[in-house]
Amino acid sequence: MTPISCRQRELTIGELSERSGVPTSALRFYEREGLIHSRRTSGNQRRFGRDMLRRIAFVRVSQRVGIPLAMIRDALGLLPEGRTPTREDWARLSQCWHDDLTSRITQLERLRDNLTDCIGCGCLSIDRCLLANPDDVLSQRGSGPQRVFTE
Amino acid sequence: MTPISCRQRELTIGELSERSGVPTSALRFYEREGLIHSRRTSGNQRRFGRDMLRRIAFVRVSQRVGIPLAMIRDALGLLPEGRTPTREDWARLSQCWHDDLTSRITQLERLRDNLTDCIGCGCLSIDRCLLANPDDVLSQRGSGPQRVFTE
DNA sequence: GCTTGACTTGAACCATTGTTTAAGTTCGAT
DNA sequence: ATCGAACTTAAACAATGGTTCAAGTCAAGC
């Protein structure tokens, strides 16, 4: 009943790095941060399952969207444990980002149009117009809660 | 010939902070970074001209757009020295951000739609579809050139 | 079995965007 | 003249997202 031998070979960190395009230093960092996992050989080296490739892909895409790692980790925590995630699992996760992206796009458009208005109308009140209602468009890059999802 | 006394009073850092909503610590930091300037009293205290309010407004708006301080400083460097910037000066600066915003919005939309496609088509290739052509949508938040302007 | 490349760790470092703290000085009102 | 609030500085600390390094260990081909 056990499958013949189509056994997916595990990947070393170097192989994972090459296939994912992510430096080994970053991969170790991701593991420390709980974004990916590995088993260890008897000699204490990491061996990654192929599914980690997809996790890494998800991480990088999410980062491009501007989502901090901690939040990505939380999202990955929603994946089922024990079994390999299905397409539906990934779709559910990605749907979050899709909604978030739409919301960000809307906010950026608002900001852009406000900017145009302020310049166009000659009110010269960049400060009043644009700072009065801080839409919290993009990360306050430093500390503080990120509030990426529209709460 | 000199104006009667409608002389705009200069602002202390506390006043500037209150009016701009930016903590004094951030204002000192901005000055260190060359984003704003002040003269000093005989007792070494800062005194800010009113035009700094507008600069700060511009800084905060730009930050919300996701532009790093170094780039904002460069942009502010385009303002005329000697005279107080006119509305046209500010409009010229803001126009950069407007164009940049439009470009970011486009990229985010592309990313969002790719994401949808990948999930919808069942190709399961989040990695291939989305990582193959890194549109460089948002900041790589760490080091490295930010390439915000569409070059 | 030896060599070499790939792997291991922790710690230090980098950039960005600030805040906090300590110790002391100045301003403005009375 | 005095008092308290507001100001000054440098330096340390914080969070994010890693990279680099030193010193040593493992794995695999010959």
pLDDT single digits (tens) A83-119:
888 878 888 888 877 888 888 888 888 778 877 666 5
Chain A interface, mutation test: which of B105, B106, B109, most A Cβ atoms within 10 Å? B105
CB A111 within 8 A of CB B65: yes
Q: Identify which of A127, A125, A55, A120 has the alpha carbon closest to the alpha carbon of residue A94.
A: A55
Say whether both A81 and A146 belong to one domain. Answer: no
Say whether both B29 and B79 belong to one domain. Answer: yes
Å between A40 CA and nearest CA of chain B: 25
Say whether both B81 and B14 belong to one domain. Answer: yes
Supply the range of the domain harboring residue A53: 6-97
In a domain, A145, yes or no: yes
CB B52 within 8 A of CB B88: no
Spatial distance between the Cα atoms of A8 and A29, rounded to a whole number of angstroms: 25
pLDDT tens for each residue of chain B, 151 residues long: 544 444 568 999 999 999 999 999 999 999 999 999 999 999 999 999 999 998 998 898 888 778 899 999 999 998 888 888 887 888 888 887 788 888 888 888 877 887 766 655 544 455 455 544 444 444 333 332 233 222 2
In a domain, A1, yes or no: no
Say whether both B43 and B83 belong to one domain. Answer: yes
What pLDDT shows up at residue B151?
23
- For residue range A136-147, list pLDDT tens digits in order: 444 333 322 233
Say whether both B23 and B71 belong to one domain. Answer: yes
Is the model more confident about B101 or about A129?
B101
In a domain, B105, yes or no: no
In a domain, A19, yes or no: yes
The residues, any chain, with a CB within 8 Å of residue B42's CB and separated by 6 or more, are none
Residue A32 has pLDDT above 70, yes or no: yes
The model's pTM: 0.77
CB B108 within 8 A of CB A104: yes
CB atoms within 10 A of CB A19: 15
Cβ contacts of A101 on chain B, cutoff 8 Å: 108, 111-112, 115
